Structure 1
Amino acid sequence: MMAQEPPKEIQIRVHSRRGGNTIHPVDAETPPPLPSPATANQSPVVYREVKHFKKWFTWLIPSFVVANVVMFFITMYVNDCPKNSVSCVAGFLGRFSFQPFKENPLLGPSSSTLQKMGALDVNKVVHRHQGWLLITCMWLHGGVFHLLANMLSLLVIGLRLEQEFGFVRIGLLYLISGFGGSLMSALFIQDNISVGASGALFGLLGAMLSELITNWTIYANKVAALLTLVFIIVINLAVGILPHVDNFAHIGGFLSGFFLGFVFLIRPQFGWLSQRYAPPGYFSTSTTPKFKIYQCILWVISLILLIVGFTVGLVMLLRGVDANDHCSWCHYLSCVPTSMWSCKTHPVSCLSDQIGDQLTLTCSSGKNRTYTLVNATTSQIQGLCTQLCR
Structure 2
Amino acid sequence: MGRGASSAEIEVNVQPRIGDSAIHPIEIGSASLSRRTSPANAMASISGEFMTFRRWRPWLVPAFVIANVVLFSITMFVNNCPRSSPSCILSFLGRFSFQPLKENPLLGPSSNTLEKMGALDVNKVVHEHQGWRLITCIWLHAGVVHILANMLSLLFIGMRLEQEFGFVRIGILYIISGFGGSLLSALFIQSSISVGASGALFGLLGGMLSELITNWTIYANKFAALLTLVFIIAINLVVGVLPHVDNFAHIGGFISGFLLGFVLLIRPQFGWISQQSHQPRYPVKRKHKVYQYILWIAAAVFLITGLTVGLIMIFHGVNANDHCSWCHYLSCIPTSRWSCNSSATYCSASQAGNQLTLTCEGGNGRNHSYFLPSADNDKIKELCSQVCS
TM-score normalised by the shorter chain: which range applies? 0.7 to 0.9
Change (3 A) 1:269 1:24: closer
**2:318, 2:86 → 1: CA distance?**
38
Q: Percent identity?
A: 67
1:186-225 correspondence to structure 2 within 5 Å: 186-225=186-225
CA contact (8 A) 2:111 2:385 kept: no
Return the match for 2:289 from 289, 292, 297. Answer: 292
Aligned to 1:144: 144
Structure 1 position 65 matched with structure 2 position 68:
no
Aligned length: 355
Change (3 A) 1:76 1:297: same
Structure 1 position 341 matched with structure 2 position 338:
yes
Paired residue secondary structure (2:332): coil
Equivalent AA in structure 2 for residue 112 of structure 1: N
Aligned to 2:321: 324
**1:381, 1:218 → 2: CA distance?**
60
**1:209, 1:373 → 2: CA distance?**
56
Cα distance, 1:216 vs structure 2? 0.8
CA contact (8 A) 1:89 1:98 kept: yes
Structure 1 position 385 matched with structure 2 position 374:
no
Instruction: Describe the superposition over 1:261-309 as per-residue Cα deviations: whole angstroms up to 9, x where unpaired.
Output: 000000000111100111x6x546x601111111111111101101110
CA contact (8 A) 2:44 2:270 kept: no
**2:89, 2:376 → 1: CA distance?**
19
Equivalent AA in structure 1 for residue 180 of structure 2: G
Aligned to 1:242: 242
**1:363, 1:74 → 2: CA distance?**
30
Cα distance, 1:383 vs structure 2? 3.4
CA contact (8 A) 1:21 1:55 kept: no
Q: Report the aligned-residue RMSD.
A: 2.5
Equivalent AA in structure 2 for residue 166 of structure 1: G
**2:171, 2:124 → 1: CA distance?**
27
Cα distance, 1:136 vs structure 2? 0.6
Cα distance, 1:370 vs structure 2? 2.9
Paired residue secondary structure (2:193): coil
Structure label with greater radius of gyration: 1
Equivalent AA in structure 2 for residue 298 of structure 1: L
**What TM-score, normalized to structure 2?**
0.85
**2:243, 2:251 → 1: CA distance?**
15
Equivalent AA in structure 1 for residue 289 of structure 2: K
**1:159, 1:167 → 2: CA distance?**
10
Cα distance, 1:376 vs structure 2? 4.6
Paired residue secondary structure (1:166): helix
**1:152, 1:59 → 2: CA distance?**
15
Instruction: Describe the superposition over 1:214-233 as per-residue Cα deviations: whole angstroms up to 9, x where unpaired.
Output: 11111111111111101110
**What TM-score, normalized to structure 1?**
0.85
**2:257, 2:206 → 1: CA distance?**
5
Structure 1 position 118 matched with structure 2 position 115:
no
**1:22, 1:254 → 2: CA distance?**
30
Aligned to 1:176: 176
CA contact (8 A) 1:19 1:57 kept: no
